[in-house]
Structure 1
Amino acid sequence: MSMQCFLNSLIYVLVVSHGSKAFHGTTLLATANRDTSSVRTSVKSAATSEAEMTKSLEELIGLKNLMLLNKDEQTILELLVEKKGQQHLVADWPEAGIEDDEKKNFVQSLVRLDTSYVGGLGAYIDKARALLASSAAGKNPFADLDAELPEGESLGDSSEESFMNAEAEGLKAARRGVGFILVAGGLGERLGYQGIKLELPVDGLSGRTFLDMYREYIAALSARIGKILPLAIMTSDDTDARTRELIAEKDIQGCQVEIIKQDKVVALSDGDARIALDGKYKIATKPHGHGDVHSLMRSSGLARQWLDDYGLEYLFFFQDTNALVLHTVLPSLGVAQKRDFSMNSVCVPRRAGEAAGAIAKLVKKDEPPLVINVEYNQLDPLLKAGNGQGDINDPKSGFSPFPGNANVLVMKLKDYVQTIEGKDRGVVDEFVNPKYADETKTKFKKPTRLECMMQDYPILLRREVPSAKVGFTTFDRWIAFSPAKNDLVTARKLSAAGEPPSAAASTEFDVYKAHAIKALLYDKEDASYQTLGGISGLYAGPRLIFGPFFALTVSDLRTKISQPHKCHLDPNTALYLDGSNIKIDSITLKGDAAAIIINTRNDASLLIKDLVLEADEGLIFKDIPDDELSNAKPSDSIRGYITVNKPTLTINIDRPGTFLLTGTGQLSELEPDL
C-alpha cells in the first residue's frame, strides 16, 4: 500500500460520542484531496421533486430573475442548483419585480461564501456528502492500526535542571526568530460571558487582560533578543471589531500585531448536505473551527513573509484563555530545536480515561507512522485491540503514558510554509459531527457543518514533508495548563467532583500559584486550598504576579530573587513586580498586605531590602450572593466574587537612578558608585 493510501485510511478518524461504545460515534475526518464527487447518501429531500432536480436554473427561476444576477452570481447559483442538488435555495422565489433586492443580496452571500472557502462551495458539498455517508455507515477508521508512544520529553518541575536547560535552549531558538499565532475566533459564551475572551482580566492584582498579558510577554521577549517579534491573531466576525479596538486601546511597543479573520461556512440541513436556510433569503452559517488558521496563514501571505522577509525559524500557536501557556514558550522551543521536531505539541499528564485528547503515534505495517492527537475515547479501544489492556495508568507515575494534548503547538516555519503551500493549500482535513434526529441518520436535530482543528496539521505535514519529525513536550499541569472556559455553574460542579474547574476563577488563582512556585516562595507539596464563589480547591497561598520584563525564565527569577528564604509572605498577601531592573534581597508581607512595584526604566535600578509591610486590607476577594450575580459586572459574575484591590504600597520608578526600597515602604535614591 502506498503512503498516500495509508494516510487516506488514517484520515477517517472516528470521534466517539462521550459514553458511547467504541466506533459508533458520528464524527469523522476527511482528506482534502479525496475524490468525493461520486459519494452520495441515498437521501433525497421530500421538498425537492425528481422533476425539479433535472430543471435548469433558468427553468426554476425564470429568465427575468436570472437576468437580475451578474456573471459570478449566475455561475455559483447554476453550480449549486444544477450540479449540487441545491434546488431548494430558489424554490420559493417569486417572479421578477418582487423581492429583487433580497434575491440579489442572497446570491451575493453565496458568492462570498464560495470565495472564502478554499475550493469553493462545490468542494465543500462534495466533502460533506462523503463524510456524512461515512458517518451514517458507522465506519471503523482504526482497522489494522496500532497506537504507540511517540518521541517526546517530560520536563517536570520548573526547579529541575532539565526545565532550565530547555528554557536556555529555547532562548537561543527565539533569537533565530519566532512568530506567535493566537487563535481567538470564539466568544466567551461557554464561560457565561458575552464579550470576547481576550478582554477579560486575567487577575485582580495586575488588572491585565489576556491580550495585554500575551502582548507584554512577546514585547519582553523581543527586548531580550533585540528583535521585534510578530503576533498574528485569528479573529472571526464575532470577535474582529472588538479585538481591533482592544489593540488600539493600549500601545505596547515591541510586539507587532497582525489580524487574520476567518469566515464561517454554510450549515447543512440533512444527510444529503443540503445548504441550510435561516429564513427565505438567508444562508445559515456556522464557525468552521480553529483549523482555519493554517489556510489563513497561507492566504494572508504572513507565513511566507515571516520566513522570507523576517527570517523567522519557528512558530508558536496558542489559544485565547490559557494564562499559563507563556511558561511553556521557551522550554517547548528548546525541546523542538534539540530534537529537531518540525512540530512539537505541548502536553500535560493525563490519567487513563480522562476526557482529554492524547498524543499518539498511529502505525500500520510497512507504512510511515502518523503522530497526532487522538481523542480519549478513540485511544482506549485502539490500545485494547493492540495490547489487550487499553489505556492504563503507569504504576509509578499514576498517569497514562500517553500525554494530554494542551493544543499548544511549536512549528518549524520552513516546513510549515512548504506544507501549507502544498496541494492542500493549508486546508486541514475536516470532520462532521451531526446530531441525528432518528435511526435513519438522514435528518438532523439541528443543522451541522464541516469543522477542522489546528492540531490535525500533521496529516498535511506528512503529505508534503514525509521526513518531518513530530513529537511532544510534557509539563506539569500547574505550570502549563489552566484554561478559562467553563461557566460558574459548571465550574462548581467540576470542583465538587474533584476535577479542574477550568474557569475564570481557577485560572486566576492558578496564575498566582505558578508564579509563587517558580520563585520558590511556595511549596506545592504543602498546598492549602480555599473556596470562593462556590468553587472549591482554589489555591490559598500568597498572590504573586511577575511581569515578563521582570523575569522571562526561571534563571531570571533565581537572579532577581536570589534568597527566597529571606522572603516571607503570608497566605493572603499579594505582590506584583514588573520591570527588568528590580532585585529582591529580603521582603516580609503580613496579614493582607499588598504591594505593586514597577520599574520599566532601563536607566534606573531598584533593590528591595528588609521591606516589611503589614495591613488588614490589600487584595480582597468577596463572594457574590447567587441572587446578585445577574447584576454584577460580567467579568466578576463569571468568577462568583468581586475583587477589591487596595495596595498597601505602590511604587513606580519614574526617573533615572539607583534606588533602595526598605523599611515600611521608604524609597531612597542612592549615590552612584564612584
Structure 2
Amino acid sequence: MRLTLLAVLWTAASAFGVHSPKERRAAFGMLSATVNKKDVVTTENLALLSPRGRDAVERLIAFDLEGHQAHVYKNWPAAGEDDHGKQQLAEQLADLDASYPGGLSAYLSKAKKLLQESADGVNPFDEYEAVVPEGEVLKFGEESFRQAEQIGLAASKDVVFCLVAGGLGERLGYSGTKLSLETNLCDNASYLEFYCQYILALQHRARQSDSSVKIPLVIMTSGDTDAATRQLLLEQKYFGMDPQQVSIVTQDKVPALKDGFAGLAMDDRWTVQTKPHGHGDVHHLLYREGLVDQWEKEGKTHVIFLQDTNALVVNSVLPTLGVSIQKEFHMNSICIPRLAGEAAGAIARLEHKTDPDKSLVINVEYNQLDPLLRTQGDGDVADPNTGYSPFPGNANNLVIEMKSYARTLRGEDQGVVLEFVNPKYKDATRTEFKKPTRLECMMQDIPKLFQKEMKQEANIGFTMFDRWYTFSPAKNALEAGQEAVNAGSSAPGTMSSAESDMYIQNQHKLQSVGVDLPVTSDDDLIKAGGIPVTPGPRIILSPAFALISDDLKTVEGPMKVTRRSSLVLSGHNVKIQQLELDGALVVKVGPNTHLTIDGLSITNKGWELQELDPSKDYPETVRIRGYTMAKHETAEYVIDEPGHFVLDASGVIRKAE
C-alpha cells in the first residue's frame, strides 16, 4: 500500500505538469516525507471516483507540496464508508478546476502570491504617480453634448449591451433579483424592463433606415440570480425583445480561502466553500462563450456595459459613445464629479516612474487614491476652482471598442482581469482570517489587460456628466439610507432616492424646452420613510418618448405641470401642442401611432405618496421604499392603433384631419 500511495503521488506530479526528473523527485520527496498511509487518498478510494474527479484530486495533491490543502484529501474513511461524499467532493474539485483558466492550481498559486503581498503590506502603486487622464466633460443642453449624442445615435445600430446582474437585492432588504425591482411607482417598470425599453427604442430609431437592425443584449447572471432572471424574461415575454437577441452568461463561483496559505475553506467534510468572484468575470465569460468573436464578425463596433440598478445611466450612453468615436477611445468610462475624499473610485492615469509601457488609465479606489496622492503632495483634495476632486468619479459603466477588446481578450489571460484579495485578519500575525476570503475581480480593471496586450497603443479615457443626469443607483437598505441621511449624506442610495432622482432628472429635461413646472432643489425635498425625496411633480418620460435631448422638442407649445402632478409619457410619436396638468395623466401610444396633445387640461385628485403604517405588514417590495403610492384618480389614454390622432381639449382622441 505504501508503494502504491507514493506511485499515485509520482503520477499526480506528472499530471500537474511536473515533468523533469529533478522536479518530480523534489515533489515526491516533499510529499513522501510528510505523509503516512492515512494522509493520501488510497487506490481503493480513487477507484470510486470518476476519471475527471480522480484527476482533480491527484492534481490538487501534486500541487500541494507544502501540505496546506491536506485537510481536503487526508484521512478519508475506507472505501465503502461515505463514498457519495468523496465522489461529490471530487466532482466539485473537477468543476472548480475546469471553470478557472489554468485550473485550480493557477487560482491557488495566484492566491498564495496575493495573500503574501497583503500580509507584507505591499503597496501596488509604489512605482506610479497619478495624473488626471484625458477625457471629456459634457453638460446637458450644451452644443458639445448634443453633437456627441448625435454621433452616438448614428453609431448605435452597431453596439452590443451587456448588463451585469449577478447580485440579489439583499443589501436593499429585498430577497429577489435587483433587476426585478420597480424603478418607480408611476409606471412600475422594473429595472430589466426599463433597460429593454431603452434598447428597443434605439433599435426602433435605427430601423427607420435599416429594418434588419437587431441590438444584442447579454445579461451576466450568477448562481443566485440565473433562474429568477430567466423566469422573469419568460413571464414578461422578454419585454418585447426577440428572445434570440438576448443571451445569458452565468458567472462561476471560486473557492473560498481559510488562511494566509490559501488553504481551501470547507463548508463541511465533503464541500469546498465557494464565493462570488466579482463582476470582472464578465470579460472572460464573453470570451469563453464565443460572443466577442461573433460580434466582431458581425461588424459590431462597441460593447456598452451597464450596472443593474442605475436607471439614469441610459441618459449618458449615446454621448459617451459619441466621445469614444470622436477621440478614438478603446475604452471610455462614464464618470460623475467626485468630492475630494469621497468613498468612491476615481479614474486616474498612473504614470510608471521608469517604464512608460507600464503606465495606464484605470479606476483607483478611494482608499488607495489618497495615500498615492500624498506621496506626490497634499493628497485627495478639492480643486479650488470647482470644489471637486480633479479626478473624475467612476460610475462603473463602460463603453469599449470592439476590435481592441477582442484583441485583448485573445491574449494569454483570456479576459481574466487581474485579481485582488481583501482578507480580514484575526490578529497581527496576518495569517488567520475572521472569515474566509477569496480572490476578487472588478469589471473596471480591464485596462490592466489592455495595457498588457496593447502597451501604449491603448487609448483609455472618460466622459463626465452631472450626477443628476446619469447617476443614482439603488444599493442600500432603507435603514442604512436613513443612517446615512442622519449623518449628513445627500446620496443615501436607497430605492426611494433612486426613484426620486428619476423624477427630478425628467423635471430638468422638460424645463429645458420651456415647460412651466417646479424643478426640485435640495431645499424643496421632503422626507418619505426618512429619505429626502421630491414632493413632485413625478414625471416619467419613457425612452421611446425622449431617446435623445432633441426629442424633447416635440413639446412644441405651452405646457404647465403643477408640483402635485404625476405624468407618464410613453411612445415614439407623441407631440404636445398645449397641455395643462394638475393631477395624474398617463399617455401611452403604440410604435406606429402618432398622437398630438392639443389643448388638453387635466385636473383630478391625482396620486399621493403615503408613509407606511407601522402596525401593518407590507411586502418587501413596499418596505424597501418606506412608502406606497395611492393612485386616487388618473386620466389615462392608451392607443395602439396605427395612424394619426389628436387628443384635444375635450379629452377625446379623434382621427387627425
TM-score by length of 2: 0.90
Change (3 A) 1:290 1:526: closer
How far apart are 1:74 and its partner, in Å? 1.6
**Structure 2 residue matching 1:361: 3-state secondary structure:** strand
Corresponding residue of 1:486: 476
Cα distance in 1 between the residues matched to 2:643 and 2:607:
30
Corresponding residue of 1:120: 103
Spell out the pairing of 1:655-674 with structure 2 (5 A cutoff): 655-663=641-649, 665-671=651-657
Cα distance in 2 between the residues matched to 1:289 and 1:529:
39
Spell out the pairing of 1:118-517 with structure 2 (5 A cutoff): 118-156=101-139, 158-175=140-157, 177-226=158-207, 227-251=213-237, 252-254=239-241, 256-308=245-297, 310-365=298-353, 366-368=355-357, 369-386=359-376, 388-466=377-455, 467-496=457-486, 497-517=488-508
Contact 1:153–1:473 (CA under 8 A) maintained in structure 2: yes
Cα distance in 2 between the residues matched to 1:646 and 1:260:
43
**Percentage of pairs with the same residue:** 45
Corresponding residue of 1:69: 49
Q: Deviations over 1:94-128 (max 9, x none)?
A: 11101111211111111111111111100000000
Corresponding residue of 2:584: 594
Cα distance in 1 between the residues matched to 2:451 and 2:429:
36
2:618 is matched with which residue: 629, 632, 647? Answer: 632
Which stretch has the larger CA shift, 389-398 or 446-455? 389-398
Cα distance in 2 between the residues matched to 1:490 and 1:611:
43
How far apart are 1:601 and its partner, in Å? 3.6
Equivalent position amino acid for 1:508 in 2 = E
Corresponding residue of 1:583: 575
How far apart are 1:283 and its partner, in Å? 1.0
Change (3 A) 1:52 1:643: farther
1:54 aligns with 2:43: no
Contact 2:304–2:397 (CA under 8 A) maintained in structure 1: yes
Contact 1:179–1:315 (CA under 8 A) maintained in structure 2: yes
1:561 aligns with 2:555: yes
Change (3 A) 1:146 1:215: same
Cα distance in 1 between the residues matched to 2:72 and 2:313:
45
How far apart are 1:190 and its partner, in Å? 0.6
Contact 1:228–1:254 (CA under 8 A) maintained in structure 2: no
Contact 1:432–1:451 (CA under 8 A) maintained in structure 2: yes
Equivalent position amino acid for 1:231 in 2 = L
How far apart are 1:300 and its partner, in Å? 0.5
Contact 1:191–1:503 (CA under 8 A) maintained in structure 2: yes
Contact 2:133–2:348 (CA under 8 A) maintained in structure 1: yes
Change (3 A) 1:524 1:395: farther
How far apart are 1:53 and its partner, in Å? 7.2
Cα distance in 2 between the residues matched to 1:523 and 1:416:
45
Q: Deviations over 1:395-454 (max 9, x none)?
A: 222111101000000000110011011111100000000010111011001000000001
Equivalent position amino acid for 1:370 in 2 = L
Cα distance in 1 between the residues matched to 2:129 and 2:614:
50
Equivalent position amino acid for 2:531 in 1 = S
Contact 2:503–2:538 (CA under 8 A) maintained in structure 1: yes
How far apart are 1:523 and its partner, in Å? 6.0
Cα distance in 2 between the residues matched to 1:495 and 1:78:
55
Contact 1:649–1:665 (CA under 8 A) maintained in structure 2: no
Equivalent position amino acid for 1:199 in 2 = S
Q: Deviations over 1:612-650 (max 9, x none)?
A: 11122x22211113454xx21111100111122345211
Cα distance in 2 between the residues matched to 1:238 and 1:104:
24
Equivalent position amino acid for 2:40 in 1 = L
Equivalent position amino acid for 2:80 in 1 = G
1:106 is matched with which residue: 85, 89, 93? Answer: 89
Contact 1:530–1:536 (CA under 8 A) maintained in structure 2: no
Q: Deviations over 1:82-104 (max 9, x none)?
A: 32231111234211101111211
**Structure 1 residue matching 2:476: 3-state secondary structure:** coil
1:536 aligns with 2:531: yes
Q: Deviations over 1:500-534 (max 9, x none)?
A: 01111011111111112112245658565333443
Equivalent position amino acid for 1:514 in 2 = Q
Change (3 A) 1:571 1:144: same
Cα distance in 2 between the residues matched to 1:281 and 1:506:
45
Equivalent position amino acid for 1:77 in 2 = V
Change (3 A) 1:124 1:437: same
Equivalent position amino acid for 2:611 in 1 = D
Q: Deviations over 1:114-158 (max 9, x none)?
A: 1111111000000000000000000122223211000001102x1
Q: Deviations over 1:558-579 (max 9, x none)?
A: 2x1134xx21111121111111
Contact 1:346–1:409 (CA under 8 A) maintained in structure 2: yes
Change (3 A) 1:264 1:57: farther
Contact 2:496–2:531 (CA under 8 A) maintained in structure 1: no
How far apart are 1:57 and its partner, in Å? 8.9
**Structure 2 residue matching 1:465: 3-state secondary structure:** helix
How far apart are 1:159 and its partner, in Å? 1.7
Contact 1:204–1:645 (CA under 8 A) maintained in structure 2: no
Cα distance in 2 between the residues matched to 1:287 and 1:67:
32
Contact 1:52–1:87 (CA under 8 A) maintained in structure 2: no
Specify which structure has the bigger relative contact order, considering alpha-carbon pairs within 8 angstroms and separated by 6 or more residues: 1
Change (3 A) 1:660 1:547: same
Contact 1:56–1:82 (CA under 8 A) maintained in structure 2: no
Equivalent position amino acid for 2:186 in 1 = L
Can you give the 5+ residue segments of structure 2 that lack an aligned partner in the other structure? 1-29, 208-212
Change (3 A) 1:519 1:336: same
Corresponding residue of 2:7: none
Change (3 A) 1:117 1:170: same
Contact 1:73–1:107 (CA under 8 A) maintained in structure 2: yes
How far apart are 1:56 and its partner, in Å? 8.2
TM-score by length of 1: 0.88
Equivalent position amino acid for 1:65 in 2 = N
Change (3 A) 1:535 1:92: farther
Cα distance in 2 between the residues matched to 1:287 and 1:626:
36
1:546 is matched with which residue: 523, 541, 549? Answer: 541
Change (3 A) 1:544 1:273: same
Cα distance in 1 between the residues matched to 2:232 and 2:380:
44
Contact 1:596–1:647 (CA under 8 A) maintained in structure 2: no
Cα distance in 1 between the residues matched to 2:31 and 2:372:
47
Q: Deviations over 1:203-229 (max 9, x none)?
A: 111111100000111011011112110
Corresponding residue of 1:43: none
Q: Tell me how large the CA RMSD over aligned residues is.
A: 1.8
Which stretch has the larger CA shift, 241-250 or 495-504? 495-504
Contact 2:589–2:639 (CA under 8 A) maintained in structure 1: yes
Equivalent position amino acid for 2:370 in 1 = D
Contact 1:154–1:474 (CA under 8 A) maintained in structure 2: yes
Contact 1:528–1:540 (CA under 8 A) maintained in structure 2: no
Change (3 A) 1:651 1:445: same
Cα distance in 2 between the residues matched to 1:69 and 1:371:
48
Contact 1:61–1:95 (CA under 8 A) maintained in structure 2: no
Q: Deviations over 1:363-397 (max 9, x none)?
A: 023514210001112112212211x2222212222
**Structure 1 residue matching 2:525: 3-state secondary structure:** strand
